[in-house]
Chains A and B, each alone.
Chain A
Amino acid sequence: MFFFIVRRFAVTVPILAASTFLVFGLVTISGDPLAQFRTSQSPNRDQIIAQARQRLQLDRSFPSRYWDWLKGVVRFDFGQNKGGQEVYPILKEALITTFRLVMLATVLSIIIGLVIGIISAVRQYSAFDYGTTFASFLFFSLPVFWLAVLLKQFGAIELNDYLERPTVSITAAVVVGVITGLVMSTITGGSWRKRAPVLAATAAVSTALLLLADSTDWIINPGLSPVAVGVLAAAAGVLAAMAFAPLTKRTVLLSGLASAMIGFVGSLLFSGWLDEPSWVDLGELLGMSLLVGLIVGAAVGGIERSSAIKAGMTATVLVGLVVVTDQFISAWSPGRTIATVGPQTPNIQGTFWERMIDYGSHQVLPSLALALIGLATYARFTRASMLETLNSDYVRTAKAKGLPATQVVLRHGFRTALIPVTTVITLSFATVIEGATITERVFGWSGMGTLFINGLSDVDPYPVMAFLVVVSVSIVALNAITDVLYAYLDPRIRNE
């Protein structure tokens, strides 16, 4: 496996060299870099041109300039743009901006896409399947900029109007409740006799929750009480256990629940710790959650140790998410929150969570635009891949030997189905970046895409090269990650 990865990297080095060389050449021949100086009216025009020629080293051949650039990049020196600024700091800024945009969108679209794909494969030809198929076709064939413009026009204005005075009318609560109920009942599947109670129960519960939230002013001043956190933590524990073993396996269930409870108690004891955290603190929280899950799982797991450890870790991470979400939503207050221009409010002050709210409100629309499109692709591919595995013999065997449906779907079906899906996800990364180029332009972010497009239109090779290096290096890294994931998902590769 190790040599496999090393070999893969060895192959990518010449590819990177060739593609950077080609792109450098393409940008160089794409136009006249001195065009803007030639039209200048100033009396010392010739001198300016001569200076620019000197600075851009235009009298040297482009392979030798490429060689210089290559030597620089190894030392993180990305050269200077046409205005004489160092590219590296600009790149760093742009990278952070785009990374924020793309990360949220990618994570959202992967999670939601996978879930939708699994459900629509399991309930093939149900209303849910047809609905999501239609919706994903709709989003799949959306021009990004059109979606972005629409979101900007409707999403921002309407949502902001709502967020200024957020209330839930009884009609709205009932409608939302019934819709949730309908969705849940189509997911449940089976005959109407089986589905009707699900519909009624879900509709009633969600309507009641909405009305409760409205009457207690929860929407204006959101947050989770310790009791709510406790209930959610227990649910997280059970869910985590269910994902990795049948609920009859007591040790796994115990591990999930115990880890979740430790997480919950921890959140009560150390609640002040999250009032003003740094990113490092949040990283530590994640590490500690994983550690607690690991220890609890190993301690109570017994013969089911590996499942118990996974369940424990999942449970604690879920609880951590609940706690962080609680902090996040508590920092929000009513107002015209959703922003449409730029990545953040300039010179933003305030606590960590207030800054997060500001980032989030700037980010929600562009990320949503990107996520909706990626989501459709992932849902389609997951569905197709799941259908293939669900119709295979070993899944039938698993059903026949009496395994619970969750186990059959998640461990026998989904795990195998993930193999082609991982490829699609990593391959589509380049598309996401390209989509981000357009989204950035619509929402006025200056990220990687802006760097690239401006470099392209100015015939300025160095910013374009910086963009290319980042994109190709991340593609190479993602490919390596895919290979590792393959080995994890497919034991045949691991044991080769």
Chain B
Amino acid sequence: MSNVPAIESAVGAAGPHGRGAEREFTVEARSQWELVRRRFFSHKLALASMIVLLSLVLLAFVGAALWKYNYTETSPRVDGRGAPTLDMIPFLDGDGLAFGEHPFGQDDIGRDYFALTLRGTQQSLIIATLAGLVGTFIGTAIGAIAGFYRGRIDNILMRFVDIGLTIPLLLLAAVIGRRAGDIPGLSWLFGENSVLLFGKDPDDVPVIGDYFGPNSIILLGLVIAFVSWLTIARVVRGEFLSLREKEYVEAARALGTPNGRIIRKHILPNAVGTIIVNATLLISAAILIETALSFLGLGVRGDDWSLGKLVSSCQNAFTTRPWLFWFPVIFIRVIALCINFIGDGLRDAFDPRQTRERR
């Protein structure tokens, strides 16, 4: 007890803004987002995946535009089979690094497979991102409302989720694929004279289903989103159910904060880790769902390509010309892996409890 006055006097001497007080807080204050960013950037695998993914996106969108072949033009097949001209350094069994005329080879009718793969990557990325974003947005909104208000609202919304979970994705894709053109609102958006066409010729753009036009990859993305928001809604609801009981929410309520503000400013930032992680999982799942749909003939059709459609249309060439099979698969795998690793890094960044060393 005897030294208490001494400390008080020491603090008093340094004053509230004196040097003594400054020395005590040598650790710089960081906001939550700063911490998250630092933890994410120290996760090497996630950072590397991010870089790889970004360069793939650049390659697919910018690279495809700069590449000398278009994905629709045909040219005579080099060496009869259209083998890939991509060459590795001698160490990896090649005669020196070379890109060649057709790095990924050519398909049956002589289209450049590199251009085709890049086109497929573009479409797959658009579909997956759209499905992920829309699905996450709807799922978060519904889950937040259900979890926050509980009671009857929760019950009704969750029963809708339950019903949605029993409806097979394939059925939805088939129905929308075949009939979207007949549904007034949808045909206005996606039909032959779609407002989203931006003056393109409806005939040379591609489809999910036989029926309708050009922006059907958007529709395909929406179909996948319609299925995938369900899981996010469940997860977010669970998170909200537990977060709404926290003391800080109670404090905010005691201060008279309106419900909308509590949801947006108090609970959502604490649930954002879970949401972002699930969103990345959703995007990588969407890529795979798209592949599966295309394999069963319910995905991208017509003249356009997605990675899934490339793989499934080339699976019979597997024994004779395996590269047709391998390249799109490698792209699918790399994209899905990168997104998964990024999700893992984000999980660790938002919720460091699962990592042993605190970073």
Contacts and interface: CB of A to CB of B under 8 A. Distances in A.
B337 interface: yes
Contacts of B168: 23, 434, 452, 467-468, 471
A88 interface: no
A437 B296 contact: yes
Contacts of B312: 145
B170 A29 contact: no
Interface in A441-464: 441, 452-453, 456-457, 464
Contacts, number: 109
Contacts of A31: 178-179
Contact of B170 (A149, A391, A453): A453
A15 interface: yes
A384 B354 contact: yes
A430 B230 CA distance: 13
B53 interface: no
Contacts of B354: 384, 387-388, 391
A30 B170 contact: no
B292 A144 contact: yes
A149 B179 contact: no
Interface in A11-41: 11-12, 14-16, 18-19, 22-23, 26-27, 29-31
A18 B163 contact: yes
Contacts of A18: 163
Interface stretch (B5-13, B64-72, B80-88, B328-336): B328-336
Interface in A121-173: 124-125, 137-138, 140-146, 149, 153
B315 to A, nearest CB: 5
Q: Is the interface of A mostly helix, strand, loop or mixed?
A: helix
B340 A143 contact: no
A27 B171 contact: yes
Nearest to A125: B356
A143 B292 contact: yes
A15 B292 contact: no
B19 interface: no
Contacts of B311: 143, 145-146
Given A125-B356, A464-B171, 20 more contacts: A26-B167, A30-B171, A138-B333, A138-B337, A141-B287, A141-B288, A143-B288, A146-B291, A146-B332, A149-B315, A149-B325, A388-B353, A434-B169, A437-B170, A453-B296, A456-B170, A456-B171, A457-B174, A467-B168, A468-B168
16 contacts: A15-B159, A18-B163, A26-B172, A30-B171, A137-B337, A141-B287, A141-B332, A141-B333, A143-B308, A145-B295, A145-B312, A146-B329, A387-B354, A437-B296, A452-B170, A464-B171
Interface of A: 11-12, 14-16, 18-19, 22-23, 26-27, 29-31, 124-125, 137-138, 140-146, 149, 153, 384, 387-388, 391, 430, 434, 437-438, 441, 452-453, 456-457, 464, 467-468, 471-472, 475
